[in-house]
């Protein structure tokens, strides 16, 4: 699949997801044997993604792909959510999950550690507040974050 087809595929996926009052978190296309596996990761601003959400997006996406005849080979369509331990991609994600437990892997150590964990606090300018154990606060410049994820709390 070429770049033009990939761009067109992303536009179709974004439109289908938007019509279902959701957002496209990620889109992945990978070969598997003689077919393509197309994975749409969908998200919802309020609440959790449901099975009904995944079903609706899958049905609508298949319809659009059949109409457009964009993929010239057999394909498998998967629709899923980012999960409980979802990646935090940007400052907006960090603000959205204020109060949740998160782990950041940093490009360079901050206060002696390359991995920091705490509850997400305020987002100011380009920094995220992490409220650590015993109420200690650490301001993390987001540009120094290599990877960030929510932690599953049990």
Q: pLDDT, tens digit, for every residue of 101-147?
A: 999 999 999 888 999 999 999 999 999 999 998 889 999 999 999 99
How large a percentage of the chain has pLDDT more than 90?
77
pLDDT tens, residue by residue, 49-108: 999 999 999 999 999 999 988 888 899 999 999 988 999 999 999 999 999 999 999 999
CA–CA dist 138, 109 (Å, integer): 13
pLDDT at 1: 64
Tokens representing 125? 């300018």
pLDDT at 131: 95
Write the CA distances from 58 to 29, 31, 41, 51, 81, integer angstroms.
15, 19, 11, 10, 12
| Domains defined along the chain, listed by start | 3-80 (3.30.300.70), 91-150 (2.30.30.100)
């Amino acid at each position: 699949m070429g770049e033009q087809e990939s761009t067109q595929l992303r536009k179709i996926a974004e439109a289908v997801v938007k019509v279902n009052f959701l957002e496209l978190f990620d889109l992945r296309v990978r070969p598997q044997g003689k077919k393509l596996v197309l994975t749409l990761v969908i998200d919802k601003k309020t609440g959790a993604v449901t099975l009904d959400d995944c079903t609706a997006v899958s049905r609508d996406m298949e319809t659009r792909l059949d109409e457009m005849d964009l993929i010239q080979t057999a394909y498998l369509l998967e629709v899923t959510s980012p999960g409980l331990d979802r990646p935090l991609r940007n400052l907006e994600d960090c603000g959205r999950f204020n109060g949740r437990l998160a782990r950041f892997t940093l490009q360079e150590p901050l206060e002696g550690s390359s991995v920091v964990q705490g509850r997400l606090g305020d987002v100011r300018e380009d920094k995220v507040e992490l409220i650590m154990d015993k109420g200690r606060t650490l301001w993390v410049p987001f540009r120094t974050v290599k990877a960030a994820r929510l932690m599953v709390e049990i």
